[in-house]
Structures are given as structure tokens and as C-alpha cells.
Amino acid sequence: MISQDILVVGGGLAGLAAALSCDPNLKVAVVSKVHPLRSHSVAAQGGINAALGNNPDGRDDSWERHAFDTIKGSDYLADQDIAQLMCQKAVSAIYELEYLGVPFSRFPGGVIAQRPFGGAGFPRTCYAADRTGLVILHTLFEQSIKKQVKFYNEWLVTRLVVKDGKCLGVVVYDLATGQIMPVRARAVIFATGGYGRVYSRTTNAYINHGSGIGIAYKAGVPLRDMEFVQFHPTSLHGKNILITEGARGEGGYLINNKGKRFMEDYAPSAMELAPRDIVARAIQTEIDKGNGFDKQYVHLELSHIGEEKIKKRLPGIREICINFAAIDPVDTPIPIQPAQHYSMGGIDVNEKCASLVEGFFAAGECACVGVHGANRLGGNSLLDTVVFGKISGEEASIYVKGSEGTDSSEKVLLEEALEVKAGIEEWEKRSSGERVHRLLEGLKVVMSEDVGIFRKKEDLTEALEKISELKEDYRRVYLHGKCLRYSQELVNIIEFDSMLDLAEVITLGALKREETRGSHYRLDFKKRNDKDWLKHTLVTCKEGKPQISYAGVNISKYKPEARKY
């Protein structure tokens, strides 16, 4: 049996940062369902926040201001001590990335360039044109080659094995051979990313099914604040490819069909650079009022910032527009609409990225450390991945060195692997039943129509019913293509189980939370209610059913106040 001291699951930014920060004397490996460079981190565009104060308009910036903006942006649901920790570590994190080779864009004088981003009091988003995710992911992958990190690519983790509150390892499906195998590990770090594909319209990659979060949930780890789903204001109409917030940071305007910069009605001082929840709602409101184009989108106007700046600062956006919409933003406005983008919630972990299961850690989008609260600021997710990815690797190393292996783990792992195998054989044996891609289409419709930007009790209740019907249908799912090697159908069947759980947890949290906060907007409860709802939602899987509880928020420094932009 393959056996590791630390097993990192996921080869995106958080996963690579974790693997690189593990104690080099330990036996560490990364398992990823795709080659690490194919991870969704590669698609991040606009940048990464740190209060370097390099921008002439940002000389007075400080990590405290960054922390305040993050907390205010979170609609005060962020844990303030942890948000401060992240922002304090941001500056050294950027210099470390630069040292490792990230080719950041520069200002005259040769310092790292910084652009304005939504919800930020100062221009503090460091960038490499609009390919920040690409260059950071490639740099960390290059470092993994240098450090000879062991990778198991195209292995899908199907189960987290936990016994008596202690993590023993995982069960994987090896796509190349079609085999199911147990992998023993004294510590496991999940860095498995988000679940965007639960929604019809998402900026996320096809692979973002969120099964890591679902697997942790099934293993008994609580999920936190899952009802907070970020919708990005600007995705390319039709394809829903991300059009970076950096486009507005560089001076882009949002224009409705009356030719008006409508953000003045919603956020008169921040305008297009209000936080994402506010801008996304504004755009959807304009479209719903009939002020959009073809009832589906508004315009993101860039032509006034000039050809030179577009080509230099936003070359990737221009390429996307030319490739996928056959327009050139140099002279034509970009048709944009909101789309699901990010999960503020995730696997409940503390500031050490540790969960309540001993030896099980999580970092990046799949985790909820508590820095984003009810709404994440643009440029804070890459920061989250590198800061907490690193912490998770360091903490997992400390844990492994201070713990003892479990003798019985091999037997338990083998048993669980056999269970997974039996499940797959059952799907394979059936010659009729439900097809997974149809079930997935059904789930996407439910989530988009009933658990989207605007929510209300009737819709959410109905969504829960439909999800439980889909759960029934899933019991009859079958594998149509009878070959287990490179079977994306099998990947989808395995991951859909998690997607159903996530949909249920998101919807349940949203139904119970009778207030409006950050990305969670209730048409029937339009006000924030700190008295009753300034608390985290926790959902735990108990005998297959979600059990909801609540936990306090750390409010050590900034008293919640009205959020105006």
C-alpha cells in the first residue's frame, strides 16, 4: 500500500504551497485529479492583494487597512483575528513569490505594480498583466520540480478515511488504470478547490465539482458558511468566462442599454469598484428591470482607457474576447453577466488549517478559515491560497512529527477501498437507470433558479425538495460506458454524490439564515440582522442527514457598522 507522511490532495495554488512548505524530512506527495498546471488556479486573472504601498495613490496603505477592508467587505462575518493574520502575512508572501520567480508587472523604479480593486481603500492588488494565476501556478510548479515533489496525477480521491476521530488516509480512483486503491497517510491536506459547476452559469473550470468538500462532509467534518456563494459581476455573456475585476480596476465602465453608468444608483462613491456582491446585484437588477441588452447582459466598456493600456494590462481579456466572442474590446464593449465564481464557505478549519478530525487539514477555496465571511474581496483568494496553503503544510508537518501512526489503519483503508469498489461494480452492472449528466443538468437548473443571487423562502424550500428528489434518482444511476479507464463518466458519477450534498448544505443554510448579508440576499429579509445572525453556520453530516448549528464570530477589533460604498 502506498504510504505517505503527508498527502496533499489538489495541485492548484493552495496544494502546491502546502506541499512546498512541508518539512523536507517527511515523505510528502500530491494527489491531483488533473495535472497540476490544469488546476483552476491557472485561470485567476486580476491579482493578489498585499499592502506594499507601491502605487503613488497607495502610499498610506498598511496591512491594518487591508484587514479592515477585508472585514468590511465580508459584511463583518470574517473572523477578525484570522483576517488580520492573513493581511499581515500578505506582504512577505508577495516578496517570497517574487523571489521564487513570479514575473509581476512593475512600476517605474522597478517595484511591483499595484492596481485598484473592488472594495479596497487603496490600490493594493499586485498583478502580472491579467495572468496572475497562470504565472504564480507555473512558478510554484517549477519550484515543485526543483524540490522534487512527488506527484500522483489523474488520481481522483473518492473517500477520506477517518476512524475514531483520526484521519488514516484516502481512497483513490486512478484514471489511467481504472483501479481503486487505498493510500495511507498520517496527515491529509485537502486543497481541492470550489464547486462552481453546481451552477449553470459559472466562471469555474469543468473540473470544479467540489467533491473534496463533499468528501470531507461525508467523513463527518463540518462545513461552515456554505450559503455564501460569490457571483462575479463580470463574466463573458454566454460562455461565462471570467472577465477580471482588473478591467474595472484599470478604469472600465459598466453601461446599461440607456447608455448610463448605472453603478451611480447603487454605490455612488465606489462606482464600478464596489465589492462584488453589490456590483453583481446591481447588474442583475438592471437586467431584470429591462435595462440590459437582449434581456441578458450589460456592457463593460473599455475603449476609453485606450488601446495601449488594454494591450499591456489586459492582454488576456482581449484574447478571450477575440477567441470566444469575436469582438475586440479596444473598440467594442464586452457583453457581461454575473456568474457563480467562488465559495466563501467550505471545510471548517481553524487558523492552523486544522479540522476537528485529527490529522485532517484544508486550505484554499475548499476550506473556510474565516477570512472571507459573507463576501470575498477580489485579489484575496490568491492571497488565501498562498498564505494558508503554506500554514497547512507547516502545521501538518508539526502534527505528523508529534503523532504516532495507527497500527490498524491498513485494514480499515482496505475495507473502505473495497466498499468504494463494490459501489462502482454496482453502477457498472446495471444496464439501465439514470444518466449522471442529465442529473447534473437538473441540479444546475435548481441551484441557478432557486439558490442564485436573489433568494426567498418559497424558492429555497422548493429547491430542497428537488434536491432530495435528485438524491432519490441518483440511487438509480448507472455507468453507461463499460470501461473504467479514463472514464469521465465515472468521475462524474463519483463526484455527483458530493455535489448533491453541497447543494443541500448551501440551500439549507440559505433557507435558515433569515437576513441579508454579503452575497446572501434574501428578498424576504432585506436587512442585515446582527442581533440574531452575526454567527457562522455549521452543517455536519449525521447519519446521512445535515445537522445545522451555529458558532460565534471573532469581532476583536472592528465593530460592525453599515456597509456603504
Partner 1 sequence: MEYLFKILRYDPLKDEYPYFQDFSFETNEKKSILEALMDIRNEQDSTLAFRYSCREAICGSCAMVLNGSFDLACRTELQALESSPIVIEPLPNLEIQKDLVVDMEPFWEALSQIKPYLFHGEKIQEGGHRIEEKEMEKIFQYINCIMCGCCYSVCPVVSRDERYLGAAALAKLYRFVKDPRDKRSFSSLSGVNTEGGVWGCDTVFRCNEVCPKEVRPADGIEALRRKLVVEKIKRFFRFRR
Q: Which residues are catalytic?
A: 276
Are 300 and 252 a contacting pair, CB within 8 Å? yes
Print the binding letters for residues 231-250 with partner 1: x by CB under 8 A, - otherwise: -------xx-xx--------
Shortest distance in whole angstroms from residue 236 CB to partner 1: 9
Q: Which is nearer to partner 1, 142 or 331 (CB)?
A: 142
Least distance to partner 1, CB of residue 123, Å: 16
Count the alpha carbons within 13 Å of 365 in the hemisphere toward its beta carbon: 28
- Min. distance of Cβ 541 from partner 1 in angstroms? 28
Other Cβ atoms closer than 10 A to 295: 10
Angle at 7 between CA 487 and CA 197, to 5 degrees: 45
Examine residue 454 and tell whether it contacts partner 1 (CB under 8 A).
no
Smaller CB separation from partner 1, 176 or 523: 176
Three-state SS letters, 96-142: HHHHHCCCCCECCCCCECEECCCCCCCCCEECCCCCHHHHHHHHHHH
Output 146 or 557, the one with its CB closest to partner 1.
146
- Of 111, 356, 418, 523, which lies in the binding site for partner 1, with binding defined by CB under 8 A? 111
Q: Which of 26, 101, 448, 457 binds partner 1 (CB under 8 A)?
A: 101
- Region 175-204 residues binding partner 1, contact defined as CB under 8 A: 176
Q: Work out whether 138 is an interface residue with partner 1 (CB under 8 A).
A: yes
Query: Rounded distance, CA 511 to CA 127, Å?
Result: 38
Strands 229-236 and 334-343: antiparallel
Residue 216 and residue 161: Cα distance in Å, rounded? Answer: 9
Binding mask 455-494 for partner 1 (x = CB under 8 A): ------------------------xxxxx-xxxxx-----
Cα–Cα distance, 217 to 348 (Å, whole number): 10
Query: Can you tell me whether residue 182 is helix, strand or coil?
Result: strand
User: Do 72 and 220 form a contact (C-beta atoms < 8 A)?
Assistant: no
How many residues line the site for partner 1 (CB under 8 A)?
62
CA dihedral of residues 463, 466, 472, 476 (deg, nearest 10): -120
Residue 268, all three cell numbers: 455612488
Of the residues 320, 353, 369, 420, which one makes contact with partner 1 according to CB under 8 A? 320
Using CB under 8 A as the binding rule, the residues of this chain from 372 to 431 that contact partner 1 are none
343 within 8 A of 229, measured Cβ to Cβ: yes
Question: Residue 234 CB, nearest distance to partner 1 (Å)?
Answer: 14
Binding window for partner 1 (CB under 8 A); candidates: 117-125, 141-149, 251-259, 553-561: 141-149
- Is residue 131 within the footprint of partner 1 (CB under 8 A)? yes
CB of 11 to partner 1, least distance (A): 11
Residue 128: CB minimum distance to partner 1, A = 8
Our finding on whether 324 is near partner 1 (CB under 8 A) is yes
Pick from 1, 107, 415, 524 the residue near partner 1 by CB under 8 A. 107
Between 147 and 289, CB nearer to partner 1: 147
**Residues with Cβ within 8 Å of residue 542, at least 6 apart in sequence:** none
Q: Distance between CA atoms of 81 and 229, rounded to whole angstroms?
A: 22
Among 80, 105, 409, 516, binds partner 1 (CB under 8 A): 105
CB of 175 to partner 1, least distance (A): 9
Nearer to partner 1, 178 or 220 (CB): 178
Residue type, 238: G
Judged by CB under 8 A, which of 145, 258, 407, 561 binds partner 1? 145
Angle at CA of residue 490, ends 487 and 492, nearest 5°: 110
Closest CA to 237 of 295, 190, 159, 286: 295
Q: Tell me which of 4, 21, 39, 125 binds partner 1, using CB under 8 A.
A: 39
Does position 327 interact with partner 1 (CB under 8 A)? The reply is no
Cell numbers standing for residue 338 = 454575473
∠ CA 199-203-209, nearest 5°, is: 50
Residue 31 or 71 having the CB closest to partner 1: 31
Site membership for partner 1, residue 129 (CB under 8 A) = yes
The helix or strand, by DSSP H or E, that contains position 380, with its residue range, turns out to be helix 380-401
Residue 374 grid cell? 459573507
Whose Cβ is closer to partner 1: residue 60's or residue 319's? 319
Nearer to partner 1 (CB atom), residue 42 or residue 500? 42
Three-state SS for 435?
Answer: coil
Q: Closer to partner 1 at the Cβ: 325 or 353?
A: 325
CA gap 164, 218 in Å, rounded? 15
String marking each residue 207-236 x if it binds partner 1 according to CB under 8 A: x-----------------------------
Tell which one of 108, 259, 290, 544 touches partner 1 (CB under 8 A): 108
Inter-residue contact 117 to 378 (CB < 8 Å): yes
Smallest distance, partner 1 to C-beta of residue 432, A: 14
- Could you say whether residue 113 binds partner 1 (CB under 8 A)? yes
User: Nearer to partner 1 by C-beta: 394 or 428?
Assistant: 428
Q: Least separation, in Å, of the C-beta of 33 and partner 1?
A: 10
DSSP character string of 7-76: EEE--SHHHHHHHHHS-TTS-EEEEESS-GGGSGGGG--S-EE-----SGGGTT--HHHHHHHHHHHTTT
Smallest distance, Å, CB 179 to partner 1? 13
Q: Which residues are near partner 1 by CB under 8 A? A: 34-35, 37-40, 42-43, 94-96, 98-101, 103-113, 128-129, 131, 134-135, 138-139, 142-143, 145-146, 176, 205-207, 238-239, 241-242, 316, 319-320, 323-324, 435, 437, 479-483, 485-489
